[in-house]
Amino acid sequence: MLSREQFDALEFDAASTGDHLAAARRMSELAHTGTATAAMPKSEAYLRAGEQWLLADEPAKAAADLRLAMADGGPVFADPRVPLARALFQLGREAEAQALIGRLKAEGPRDPRDCDLVAELLLERADLAGALDWATAGVELCLGRSPAGPPQPSHGDDEELRLLLSLRYRIRNDLGLPEDHYDELLDSD
């Protein structure tokens, strides 16, 4: 039986020791052989294994498990296409990675965390304009996309909002853009 606690312990050990390879191997094995539970579906097990493979600098193995997470189609805490795009970039398969990000954009951002992850990925790739678009989309999701009047935090996920606002501010600063109404939210605490 797959358990969230088991995967949490493996992630904690890997973060403590730096041995992401051992964690990736074990998580991948569990994902392949374990029985899904309501608390830990196979899709999430594959996603978490894929993330560990990325941390172990094994993008091909990460891509394989992330594709299995997508194929399973069960619930996950983050869209597996985002780390899959990262793996594909690392493998030099830029067109495939860009196509994944393009599909995510065409579907419309739905999760602030995914927006944060895509923005960080694009920032690493020196795509500041793309990163800014994703960070802004994440902020707007956190704020409930209030088009009229000044934005007001929605109290949904204040921590994610703060991360996105900080990321967005850094990107705007790198682009030489002046502060705007979203940047002012950083000062409202």
Q: What is the pLDDT of residues 79-123, one digit of tens each?
A: 999 999 999 999 999 999 999 999 999 999 889 999 999 999 999
Q: Which run of H or of E encompasses 173?
A: helix 158-174
Which residue pairs from 125-129 have beta carbons closer than 8 angstroms and sit at least 24 positions apart in sequence? 125/89, 128/171, 128/174, 128/175, 129/175
Residue 29: both structure tokens together? 């094995």
In this structure, what are the phi and psi dihedrals at residue 108, rounded to the nearest 5 degrees? 90, 125
Q: What is the DSSP-derived secondary structure letter of residue 125?
A: T
Q: For residue range 145-168, what is the model confidence (pLDDT) as tens digits?
A: 644 344 444 445 789 999 999 999
Average pLDDT for 11-30: 97
Q: Which DSSP string do the residues of 55-120 spell out, in sequence order?
A: HTT-HHHHHHHHHHHHHH----SS-THHHHHHHHHHTT-HHHHHHHHHHHHHH----HHHHHHHHH
